[in-house]
Amino acid sequence: MGQPILRNRIFERAGDMRLPDDIVECLGAVFAGENLVAHLKTLAFLASRERRKSVKIAFMKRFPLFIVLPLFAVTMSAQSPTPSDGRDVKFEDPLFDKLVGNWRVVRKFGDGRTAENTVRVGWVLNHQFLELHYLDVATPPQYEAMAFIGFDHKMSRYVLHWLDIFGGRASEVIGYGTLDEAAHSFYFTFNTPDGGQFMNVYAFDPATKNWTSVMRQKSKGPWSLFAEDKFTPLAPKP
């Protein structure tokens, strides 16, 4: 029944009682008019300003799906939010999976020097980080480092913690990285304690299945090559 007809029927039965438009609108949806106008006491009850909330409650009971379901969804979302980071949200990355294993790494520095390392790569800490353990092949080893690559789900960026035998100051900054899917590469940038910048790029070659790691640095002048690592699989011992 339309609102004008419903309103006239109500006025006929209620005399001077005038229901607000919002009440009439609710009545049309809840009671469809016919049952309502047959009960004058019901009209008097509804005409009371103090009882308007009761009509809204009746409307909610009549059409629960329009109200209850959205509220249920909001409530469940507030009570059980999907964590963006944490113990139950592991770091999964198919490209970094290709780095897992044991490698022989030849490092060529910008000044022409070379060094050789073995690197053991694997997922650690509940699959939250990819650990790269570098160890010089010299006896005794002259260099050792551990790099931990993780992912910040909230910020949608990779993180790289680089720890080595040179101590805390050289290791106190974190690199933030992005993925270039087309180039099969990860780009990490660091802001060094002395005000400079450092970049570390890990790149995968689909043809050879090998990796390279290029490190560049910048202080006051232009970018310069610090070192380039070439990864080749380390054959297991017989």
Burial annotation 148-183 (CB, 10 A radius, 16+ → b, else e): bbbbeeeeeebbbbbeeeeeeeebeebbbbebeeee
Query: If pLDDT is split at 50, 70 and 90, which confidence band does 20 have?
Result: low
Cα separation, 179 vs 20, in Å, equals: 61
Percent of the chain with pLDDT over 70: 63
Residue whose C-alpha is closest to residue 46's, from 64, 24, 30: 24
Average pLDDT in the chain: 75
For position 67, what pLDDT does the model report? 41
**28 or 161: which leads in pLDDT:** 161
Position 70 pLDDT exceeds 70: no
| H helical segments located in the chain | 3-14, 21-30, 34-37, 40-47, 52-62, 64-79, 94-97, 168-171
Position 9 pLDDT exceeds 70: no
Note the pLDDT tens digit of each residue in 178-223: 999 999 999 999 998 888 889 999 999 999 999 999 999 988 888 8
Position 16 pLDDT exceeds 50: no
Please name the residues in contact with 144: beta carbons below 8 A apart, sequence gap of 6 or more: 133, 134, 135, 136, 164, 165
Position 229 pLDDT exceeds 90: yes
Query: If pLDDT is split at 50, 70 and 90, which confidence band does 236 have?
Result: low
For position 168, what pLDDT does the model report? 78
Note the pLDDT tens digit of each residue in 118-148: 999 999 999 999 999 999 998 888 889 999 9
Cα separation, 19 vs 115, in Å, equals: 89
Q: What is the mean pLDDT of residues 22-29?
A: 50
Query: If pLDDT is split at 50, 70 and 90, which confidence band does 87 have?
Result: confident
**85 or 80: which leads in pLDDT:** 85
Structure tokens at 191: 């802001």
Query: If pLDDT is split at 50, 70 and 90, which confidence band does 61 have?
Result: low
Structure tokens at 72: 């249920």
User: Is the whole-model pTM more than 0.85?
Assistant: no
